[in-house]
Structure 1
């Protein structure tokens, strides 16, 4: 069965890009969210196998949303995405429980590699 993935990014074209990569590689995109608040709600509603989460978003950023999701489900698998490959943000995300980190612009093979590793495929 295909892994069920929730995509979280405030930019619709970024969600579209990652959705395209995922669906072409046989993953099931079960939902999309445009900010951290919506990400937490969708996670509760959909119980996806994995979440791709942008760090910089309005309302609630990706790290705050990651912490909320991990409070609901300590086993949640979340991969952070950001255009800012800053060391401090990567460390914050990993400490908050992120499983991996993908830098934008997305490279399809890197995205798939991170997802396969995180899902233990």
Structure 2
């Protein structure tokens, strides 16, 4: 089971992700509302996996991802993308994102993605 940090400016998205992940036995170690807070929380909570929204105020998910990857090149970050963000998605994968999931959030896809990353990590 993973310790997961959720970074998303939408309270609804955070709640949905939290519900799904906790239902599947994972622990939510923090919830951040923008990329800057997400980066700071990453340092204080040291999660196994981060779910990172792309479009957020203050600092977007791409910039936050870059900071996290600089801090820990082994970090596992799942980008959460809305429709029509293909360019940003490709940029995120190039910058070190492990995976991505699309909104609207689909329980099966989320669980499968987290499980695949954990498997790769040897959990």
Shorter chain as normaliser: what TM range?
Answer: over 0.9
Structure 2 Cα separation of the partners of residues 3 and 52 of structure 1: 12
Does residue 1:27 correspond to 2:6, yes or no? no
C-alpha displacement of 1:87? 2.3
Unaligned segments of structure 2, at least 5 residues: none
2:97 aligns with: 98
Secondary structure in 1 matching 2:88: helix
Structure 2 Cα separation of the partners of residues 35 and 83 of structure 1: 16
Q: Which runs of 4+ in 1 moved over 3 A?
A: none
Report the TM-score, using the length of structure 1 for normalisation. 0.95
**When the two structures are aligned, how many residues end up with a matched partner?**
120
C-alpha displacement of 1:45? 0.2
Report the TM-score, using the length of structure 2 for normalisation. 0.94
2:60 aligns with: 61
1:7 aligns with: 6
| Cα RMSD after superposing both structures | 1.0
Does residue 1:71 correspond to 2:62, yes or no? no
* Contact 2:81-2:89 at 8 Å conserved across structures: no
